Chains A and B, each alone.
Chain A
């Protein structure tokens, strides 16, 4: 008989780690909490700071969970834990939206991952587009203060860190085309469909 490492039951360390992560989030020691949500648009990574929801990422379009978390670690803080309870509000609102039971989001937002100045004004302009309505890149650029900067507006919408809740999918090309989408055009069509708009 020798001095072997003590055996631990399968899942035992994972369960204690989950309790530790929840405590880290609740006590404010972690700066970012995240959770996953299976949605009709594919799996979403939701992340929040103490100020509010800071990131909604289409997991597959963004290189997977690790890549999403690494980007948040570089830009905000590496103090990130999986704490699903901290995202309960956001998950419930998104679920209701996809179930056709919610037209507006009430969850607090943190724009720390959105660019500054014009990019941020573009996202704020997009929030004003009501459920079921659409706008154009030119209109959004105008609402953000620079009517001619519609390409820059498109770029800002493409880099939207909070898609769905900041409804950049409601911004279409002036000629009536779909334009682009941060999560791929299939998802843009699906979201417009959720809102009762048939978008080709």
Chain B
């Protein structure tokens, strides 16, 4: 009989994927909290999970919901100007670490897209889920996930001239 791996091993195995996804989806300053909330939620539900579950898709689905919470909270409470100044520095620092802005501004563009397009593009290109896994995570059809991805990429391309669609 298969059993679930000890939670620590599950955490070690998926921590980088989850962090990459969250940095892309909510930005670096909020990624730390969202990461902790993701894995604490996963831990609460962990021993009710079927041992043959797709653990990677499962934890990224939880991360996606935590990212939605962050975006919803932002919509409810626009950042005061003082906050924006405080936040500007770590974001710029992170971008410098990423190698002078490679992709950083594209993820900023992705963060500004409508909710489903943002979710599909971050799950696809930051987390590497398949369209079928993304459809399951979002509760939509694979076709709808594909369409949202293509709409999102189209918007990005219109806004910036140098985005090449990933293959």
Decide if A and B are genuine partners. Answer: yes
Residues of A at the B interface (CB closer than 8 Å) are 1-9, 12-14, 16-17, 19-21, 23-24, 27, 29-30, 34, 66, 69-70, 72-74, 77-82
Min Cβ gap A87→B in Å is: 14
Which residues 43-67 of B sit at the A interface, judged by CB distance below 8 A?
Answer: 43-44, 46-47
Q: Which of B69-77, B81-89, B96-104, B130-138 contacts A (4 or more CB under 8 A)?
A: B96-104
- CB neighbours of A72 from chain B (8 A): 6
Residues of B at the A interface (CB closer than 8 Å) are 3-9, 11-12, 15-16, 18-20, 23-24, 32, 35-36, 39-40, 43-44, 46-47, 97-99, 102-104, 106-107, 110, 121, 125-128, 153, 156, 162-166
* B47-A6 in contact (CB<8A): no
* A8-B3 in contact (CB<8A): no
**Docked pose: A69 CA to B153 CA in angstroms:** 44
* A16-B3 in contact (CB<8A): no
* B19-A16 in contact (CB<8A): yes
Question: Which single member of B16, B36, B44 contacts A13 (CB below 8 Å)?
Answer: B16
* B47-A2 in contact (CB<8A): no
Pairs A-B, 10 closest by C-beta atoms: A69-B6, A13-B15, A3-B125, A80-B6, A17-B15, A78-B4, A6-B23, A13-B19, A13-B16, A73-B6
**Docked pose: A183 CA to B128 CA in angstroms:** 45
